[in-house]
Amino acid sequence: NIAEIDIENHELYKLLGYKLRETGQFQEAVFIFKKVLQWRPMEPQSYRDYGLALADAGQYQQAVDTFYTALKKNYEEGVAGLYRGFEEILVTEMNRIIARHKEEINTSSYGMKLVHAMPVDVRVVLSWNKNNTDMDLWVVDPNGDKCYYGHKETLIGGRISNDFTRGYGPEQFLLKKAIPGKYQVLVNYYGDQQVKISGPATVMAEIFTHYADGKE
């Protein structure tokens, strides 16, 4: 049992939450990620994970409210410095929930600067459960153009988010208008700075086509 390996280990609970989402046990995932948020409110990933679980469980207003809280929160400088650019991922995911369930969500208190339609043909997002770990997302398009931290924009318009080298991620790839062909999604395990009872890092890769455009 993942949760019993090391009691109140937030990294193991993140892993458990990933597995629950993967297997469609969304209410249980909400419970687990709420625990992580209670233990780690100082980290934006805690709000993101909880918000995504709420959306999976159909609690759309609460999910978007959680994302908005994460966007407006003042984090300690050490944490904020690790995750500069994280807001781009939060805004993308928040607006996807709004676009898909706009009849069920009241956005009047958010401020219109944060609410925009943001559909893309391809979105890939990579998350992992271990702190002080550097995972790198690579996406190779049909032309062989590899988008990664050293080449952040491709000729056909692919773009990758900031490279988070000492935290949990996530990292995302966006492509507004895709061309036909085969795309490769790759994960490069660059390294970590820890040895822990909870074992090696676990990666969750989520791949979307027609993201937030009504045909997802």
Low-confidence ranges of the chain (pLDDT < 50): none
Residue 44 and residue 71: Cα distance in Å, rounded?
8
Quick count: other Cβ atoms within 10 Å of Cβ 213? 16
For residue 34, give both structure tokens.
């709420």
* pLDDT at site 201: 83
* pLDDT at site 191: 67
Model confidence over 90-101: pLDDT tens digits? 999 999 999 999
* pLDDT at site 193: 57
Tell me which residue of 51, 60, 6 sits closest to 30, measured CA to CA. Answer: 51
* pLDDT at site 168: 81
Please tell me what DSSP assigns to residue 148: B
φ/ψ of residue 150, rounded to 5: -90, -5
Residue 27 and residue 163: Cα distance in Å, rounded?
31
Query: What b/e readout covers 150-165, taking b as 16+ CB neighbours within 10 angstroms?
Result: eeeebeebbbbbebbb
Please tell me what DSSP assigns to residue 177: S
Q: Angle of helix 86-100 relative to helix 60-72, nearest 10 degrees?
A: 160
Helix (H, G, I), strand (E, B) or coil at 12: helix
* pLDDT at site 199: 67
